Homo-oligomer: A and B are copies of this chain.
Amino acid sequence: MQTTTYTVNGMTCGHCVSAVSNEVGRIPGVSDVQVDLASGSVTVTSEQSVDDAAVRAAVDEAGYQLVG
């Protein structure tokens, strides 16, 4: 198991959290996504290393932006 924490800009409410969780959770191999609305942190748990580009694309698809 591997855990990576990203920061996402623009989430303002629980719906935003759901949108990001759902999109990132669809990435193959991802077993858990924890989002903290206040800080914008998105913690992704996966069996193997997840491609950052896939996370960035999923966040973008949800309508938000990965920081960094």
Which residues of A line the B interface, CB within 8 A?
12-16, 18-19, 63
Contact = CB atoms under 8 A, between A and B. Distances in A.
Copy total for this chain: 2
A37 to B, nearest CB: 10
A19 B18 CA distance: 13
Determine the main DSSP class of A at the interface with B: helix
A63 B19 CA distance: 17
10 contacts: A12-B12, A12-B13, A13-B13, A13-B15, A13-B16, A14-B63, A15-B15, A15-B16, A15-B18, A15-B19
Nearest to A17: B15
Contacts of A63: 14
